[in-house]
């Protein structure tokens, strides 16, 4: 049985996520302090309360939600947990009339993005025509995110460590 709940992380869970995410090619991740301060965390737990996966949403601009992290621990992959977390994050944002933004190079996540009819684009310089009025908000958020030394360092480190051939896909879904 898998429960999807909102709650803050424990210190042990935050340490575990920082360490495990550093070993993945697709997620840049966040610092221990950022995880401990985060409010919009969705957890997948088993019947004993053990962490199986997590999604982290950040809100920015007037009405934007970024699905910033979608992570399922290795031993729990292939059970649909990531899909449940991703869909729950999207449903919640849509129910609140928010626009959605996410980035991924993970083929599984990219399939979910397409299934949920996000508009996708290959880079921030190829913004979709229908979303041109939101470009400044997305750019501003991205620059603020990149100004964090940990994010920038991890982005560069992962590029050189994993030498991944997958391209990142940028995706937005405008709310009502």
Average pLDDT for runs of 10 along the chain of length 176: 94 96 90 95 95 96 96 96 97 95 94 95 90 93 93 87 82 88
CATH number, domain containing residue 98: 3.40.630.30
Closest CA to 56 of 100, 28, 89, 97: 89
pLDDT recorded at residue 161: 84
pLDDT recorded at residue 144: 94
pLDDT recorded at residue 135: 93
**Both tokens of residue 24?**
């993945």
Cα of 96 vs its chain's centroid, Å: 18
CA dist 126 and 80 (Å) reads 31
pLDDT recorded at residue 176: 67
pLDDT recorded at residue 166: 75
pLDDT recorded at residue 59: 95
pLDDT recorded at residue 175: 84
Q: Is the pTM of this model over 0.95?
A: no
CA dist 157 and 161 (Å) reads 6
Residue 11's domain comprises 3-173
Label residue 80 left, alpha or beta by phi (over 0 means left) and psi (-120 to 50 means alpha). Answer: left
Domains in the chain: how many in total?
1
User: DSSP states of 126-168 as a string?
Assistant: S--GGGGGGHHHHHHHHHHHHTSHHHHHHHHHHHHHH---PPP
Report CA dihedral (108, 112, 114, 115) to the nearest 10 degrees: 130
């Amino acid at each position: 049985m898998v429960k999807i709940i909102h709650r803050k992380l424990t210190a042990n869970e935050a340490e575990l996520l920082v360490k495990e995410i550093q070993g993945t090619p697709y997620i840049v991740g966040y610092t221990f302090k950022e995880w401990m301060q985060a409010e919009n965390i969705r957890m997948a737990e088993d019947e004993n309360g053990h962490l199986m996966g997590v999604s982290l949403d950040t809100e920015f601009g007037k009405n934007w939600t970024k699905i910033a992290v979608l992570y399922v621990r290795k031993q729990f992959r292939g059970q649909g947990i990531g899909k449940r977390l991703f869909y729950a994050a999207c449903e919640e944002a849509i129910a609140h009339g928010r626009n959605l933004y996410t980035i991924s190079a993970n083929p599984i996540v990219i399939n979910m993005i397409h299934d949920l009819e996000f508009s996708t684009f290959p880079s921030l310089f190829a913004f979709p025509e229908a979303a041109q009025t939101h470009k400044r908000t997305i750019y501003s958020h991205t620059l603020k995110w990149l100004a964090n030394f940990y994010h920038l360092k991890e982005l560069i480190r992962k590029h050189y460590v994993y030498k991944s051939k997958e391209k990142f896909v940028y995706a937005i879904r405008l709310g009502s």
